[in-house]
Every structure is written in C-alpha cells, then in structure tokens.
Structure 1
C-alpha cells in the first residue's frame, strides 16, 4: 500500500499534467461514494436514464408570469365530469330568493336589467291546477308567462304562454324522469322556433347538505360538453337566498328559450321539494326508521 507521502506526490504530478490518477486498492475494499450522487461513477453496463418527456418536465415559473390565467369552472362538482361554465360572458346570472312559503323570486345580478325579474308560484297536489306558474315581475300579480303540470303519476307537461288569459294558445311539451330508482336526470324535448326538436337533460350534479334541492346543469343529449344552464344552491348556509341560476344566451333558439329553461328548472325544483316533504312527514321518518 502506498505511503501518504507517495500519494501526495502522485496527486501533485497529476495536477501538473492534468491527468486522472487511480490508486490501487485491495479486492475486499468497498468502493467509496461521494456525498453527492451526481459525482459517483456509473458502471458501464448500466443504461443511462431516459430524457424526460415535455409532459414530465417542470414548467418554468418565469414563463407563466406573462401568460393569461386559465378560467376555472364555476363552483360546482360538475367540473369533475367535464361540465361547468367557462365562458361567463355568454350567460345571464340570476339570484334565487325564497318568497311566500314555497314560492321563489328570481332576480338578475345586474339590478339595472329591469326586464328579467321572475316570480315562480308553486302549488302542490291540486288536481287540474298547474304545479308551477311562472310570472313576470316580483310578485303574484305579474303576468303569467308559462305553467307546468306536475301530476302524481304520468309525465310532466309544461307550456309557454299566458295560461290564465288564453289557455288554448299554450303549446304543451313533456318532461320526464329517466331514472327508475333515482331522480338524477330529467329529460325534455323542446321544439325550436325553426321547427327542429332537440332533447335536453337536467342533471343533478351534487346533493347539498340539509337542502331539498341539489345543484343542476342543463345539457343537450349527446353533447354534454356544452352547458346551457346551471343552478347552484346555497345548501346549509341559505337563509332567504337559495342559490344562483345562470342561463346561456341562445338567440338562435328563439325568444321563448329562457322561459323554457326557467319553467323546467322550477319544475325539477318543485318535484324535489315534494319528495323532501314526503320524506320529512312520512310515518317512517316520525318513528325514526
């Protein structure tokens, strides 16, 4: 084994000649590794690690300073399914308030928009009487814009028009529950002004805590990536304000499109609240089953 003096001399000569010096070692001496693994010599039989793909590379934080921030989904679990509202500029947003007993008052977020105030009158379990009446304005005295019949059995029907003044002028369309055990989806067929029929679905995306109605989205059947309306309830934190409703502006669908959305949404909400009242006051609920 070389003496310390000889090692120092060999290192001094190597530094002068810029050469690499290898000292002999015993066969049973383990290979010494540096504290930094990047300076360890890799055995020639070991393949080098593959270069990272563009997806695996870490983004440069300086490049993201000037880049526009991505729009996030509206606060809804619908985003987990690829749904949600991204282009906020194409929607009219409303705030939904509780009115007399089970009635609802729908007001636009922008208070200057005086033409989009609606009042929803709910009537429960009355024969031959509409279960939902949509009125213009903020109270029961407003003009009737449409009604919906919600019978105990059979399909639900809705129609746009003044049912109180001229009931024969109302054109009726159907909306039905597509599930057998659940009420997650309601299907409606609506005829546009150009005569084309399209199928839409109200889909429940989340059950709010201690609320009789969960969040909803309205999509076209087969094209669920485009959301036409979205309702977000307040859940446990509601007092007078029940939630927010957003409706996409679709001028190509005709002037009655917004009324159809409001009528069908109010029908789904009333059906859900009826089931909640039945569960709340059923005998099985009273005895704790």
Structure 2
C-alpha cells in the first residue's frame, strides 16, 4: 500500500483513533497498526465498518441540514483525518463564504489537516483538546463571528471523554457560549443494540489503541441535547436520522446521532 510517511514526531506503530476510523471508512492515511485494530473490531462486530461509514454520512446530512437553515459558520471538534466531503466542502456548497474551524488534539491529524485543508478559503485548523473548551472558544471567537449563529459539531468524539472528565459539562460550556440560533450536532457510540458485543469491542479498542473509549446509552446521549431544541427525529440511530433514502437497519449503526438548536432570545420570526 503506497502512502505518505507519517509526519515528523508521529509514531505510526501506535494506533490512533483518527487513523483507525480512517481505515474503517476506506481512507488512505492509516498504518498497519491502525488496520490491525480495525480488523479486530470487525471480527467482534462485522457491522463496525458500515457503522463508521454511516457515521460519516450522518455528518454530511447534519451539516447540510444546518447550512440549509442559513448557518454558515462551523466549529468541528474532533474532526479526524481529512477525507471526501469534508465539512467546509459541504457547507460551502450552500454558502460559498462559509467559515470552518477544525479542531483536533492529535498532532498527526492536525498536520494532515493543515497540509490538506489549511489552504482552503475560510478554513482554519487548531490543535486543542475538547477537555479545554476555553482554548477552543478563544480561537473560535477570533475565527468565527459569535454575533451570528455557529454550529458546533461533536461527531464521534464524546465517547473518548470518560465520565470523570464530565463530558456533559464540556458540552454545556460550549452551548452556553454560542449565540442564540446556533446548533450542536452529536454522534456517539452505544451498546444499546448488543451490550456484550459492545463491551467486548470497547475493551479491545481501549487495549489496542492510544485512547480509552466508553459506550453510553440513549438517555446519557440525550443529555448532551439539554437546553437545545431537538431537530426531528431527535436522538436516533444514525441510519434513521433524516436518511437520504430508505434507512438501513439499526444494526448498521453503533452510533446515536442528534442535532439541536439553541433557542432564540425571542420568539421565532
């Protein structure tokens, strides 16, 4: 397999969440160690790969929906490696001057993003951790206009935040900083379709990769939407969240997805 060498300082022998995900969705910026984890996950649950692909499709649908509501600013936290139909490409199909700030804590992801996305118009890249929301918000205020609605995207990232770090409080901090009319989109892994398989996959993922993962049930994921007006159909398996065609069975979705809007100060209109 021909591929670029890893950026300086990146150890390709240590699997990373972004590269494992990249492998699952058919990307090229992953290495043997990442593919080994992906293969092991598919042994445990053959639907893991289709779930990752469906999660990427959910991201696209969420961005299209939000952009269709007139929002042209996006804060994508835990962006992962660049691939097809990146957020700025989807958003700029609606609004040519849409602005996007990509954020990831993985220096390898940031290096790739700066190389492949950083030259795109109205695109910025920040190396920062979701557990440091104030740093993210400080940069977002420099990059985006917080006098107008902003969409925060938390796609397949919150399941890497353990309960000890209070992920719900982190989302509240971001939500509270947003202008009225802003949106928050979330996707998150769950074991609701099979606890035993889900627990085994989570344990193997945490053992083999550089990150610890945690499943949450629908109720815990719904709490990320507290204080927001849910977009129909609310918290739902990603295959059933506004599908472009007939929805695939939920077995192809180890993720729940949801989008919510921060209420306006006054009545709509």
Q: TM-score, normalised by structure 1?
A: 0.27
> Which structure shows the higher strand fraction?
1
Larger radius of gyration: 1
